Amino acid sequence: MVKLAVISDEISQDFEHSLKVIKELGAEYVELRTLWNKYIVDFSDNELHEVKRLVNRYGLRVSHVCSPTFKIYIDDSKGYEKHLSILRRAIELTKLFDLNYTRIFTFWWQGSLELYIDKIVEKLQPAIEIAEKEGVYLIVENEYSCFVGTGNELRLLLDKLKSKWVKVLWDPGNAFFARETPYPYGYEKIKDYVMYMHIKDAAVENGRFVFKPIGKGMIDYEGQIRDVINKDIVISLETHYAPPSGSKEEGTRESFKGLVEIVKKVLKK
pLDDT, residue 6, reads 98
Burial zone of 208 (CB within 10 Å; 0-12 exposed, 13-18 middle, 19+ buried)? exposed
**Whole-prediction pTM:** 0.98
Rounded to an integer, what distance in angstroms lies between the CA atom of residue 240 and that of residue 258?
Answer: 14
Local structure of residue 33 (DSSP, 8 states): S
Backbone angles phi, psi at 140, to 5 degrees: -80, 120
Helix boundaries (H) for 142-238: 151-161, 172-177, 187-190, 221-228
Cis peptide before 68 (omega within 30 of 0): no
Tell me the three-class secondary structure of 137-150, residue by residue: EEEEECCCCECCCC
Query: What does each of the 269 residues of the chain score in pLDDT, given as a tens digit?
Result: 799 999 999 999 999 999 999 999 999 999 999 999 999 999 999 999 999 999 999 999 999 999 999 999 999 999 999 999 999 999 999 999 999 999 999 999 999 999 999 999 999 999 999 999 999 999 999 999 999 999 999 999 999 999 999 999 999 999 999 999 999 999 999 999 999 999 999 999 999 999 999 999 999 999 999 999 999 999 999 999 999 999 999 999 999 999 999 999 999 98
CB atoms within 10 A of CB 111: 8
CB atoms within 10 A of CB 202: 22
CB atoms within 10 A of CB 49: 12
Contact at 8 Å (CB) between 87 and 130? yes
Burial zone of 125 (CB within 10 Å; 0-12 exposed, 13-18 middle, 19+ buried)? exposed
Residue type at position 168: V
CB atoms within 10 A of CB 36: 14
pLDDT, residue 1, reads 75
**Which residues face 3 on adjacent strands?**
234
pLDDT, residue 256, reads 98
Q: Element (H or E) spanning 61, and its range?
A: strand 61-65
Contact at 8 Å (CB) between 133 and 105? no
The CA R_g of the chain, rounded to the nearest whole Å, is: 18
Rounded to an integer, what distance in angstroms lies between the CA atom of residue 110 and that of residue 98?
Answer: 36
pLDDT, residue 40, reads 98
Rounded to an integer, what distance in angstroms lies between the CA atom of residue 5 and that of residue 234?
Answer: 7
**Which residues face 140 on adjacent strands?**
104, 168
**Domains of the chain from N-terminus onward:** 3-268 (3.20.20.150)
